[in-house]
Structure 1
Amino acid sequence: MTATSQGKKSSRVPTPLHLLQTLTRTLNEQLGEACQQAEHDAVKALEKLERQKAKLDDKLTEARDKLAARQSGEEHKSVNKAQNRVEELEAALAELNKARNAAAAYVKQLRLDIRQTLRLAKGFERIDGQVSQAIEKRDNPDQAPPSRPRNGQRRGRSKSPAKKPATAGATTNA
């Protein structure tokens, strides 16, 4: 590249079309990344709750086994203590199950929201394509395809006098 071509590129001022193109591309990219990160974080939190539930299930099983062993030994003080521990663990497990169910419902809704968001964000891709076409058309006007008429506008037709229909107001001389 020559110094003059580099100077032309650096001195080029971005137009609103270029800014819109950059904006749509950046927004679409960041939206996709944010959706992926949100889903990853939600799934990670759900997995953490699953691991906590598994540990709590193990502790509860051990506590129930201890309770059963102590009940057979008839040690009232240690039986009450073991029974309280089982009740605490069962309450914690019930609370953890509620949190896990809420997290699972959140992940499910989040995935639906992400799918809908990305479907709606396809509009950004269409805008980006339209902006690219507009920039290309502006930069290369001689290569641009012929434009179609806008809604409500018609192309003029050449009508020959012989093809004009007779009007109701026109009468022949009688």
Structure 2
Amino acid sequence: MRAIESRYRITIVAAMLVAASGVLAADKPMPSDAQLIASAMRAAPPAVGKGATIIAMSPDGTMRTLRQGTNGYTCMPDNPATPGPDPMCMDKNAFEWAQAWMGHKPPVVGKIGVMYMLEGGTDASNTDPYAKKPLPNNHWIKTGPHFMIVGADPAFYDTYPKNPDPDTSMPYVMWPGTPYEHLMAPVK
């Protein structure tokens, strides 16, 4: 069961990375495993990164485990094909939330998950969970270093700003009014 769950998690992450930013550019050299692990660990607080499973995307889009973890978090290194630093780390509930997002299905409400992107994040639409590029009506923003709370009850998100063009230096709700709304909490 554990092996199936592990493969399932890797598949979710691979789909997220491909959907969000495409596969690694063929003209960029692949970093060493040690460099990938160091990048992935910078996504989360040191205690989380230290015990996390580290996975990385190969140039062909498949995922491989670089290090098996012990704390239920999975971290991924920066994707050099994206414009900004975007290593990410998620707990189990956040993976389930991400699967719902990738599958265009509603996530389980009230099953809170945590994601870390302490090195920053790729620019994204604040209103359209599936936007691939800036358009006049999709409120493209630069996220910066942050952590996210996903899967909370809608009333939780109602206590934070839901402006389509938020002040990204303060906590705000990304993708408000969709099943994938989540709290973005800047850390710098």
TM bracket, shorter-chain basis: under 0.3
Q: If you compute each CA radius of gyration, which structure gives the higher value, 1 or 2?
A: 1
Structure in which a larger fraction of residues adopt strand? 2
Normalised to the residue count of structure 1, the TM-score between the two structures is 0.16
Structure in which a larger fraction of residues adopt helix? 1
- Greater relative contact order (Cα 8 A, min sep 6): structure 1 or 2? 1
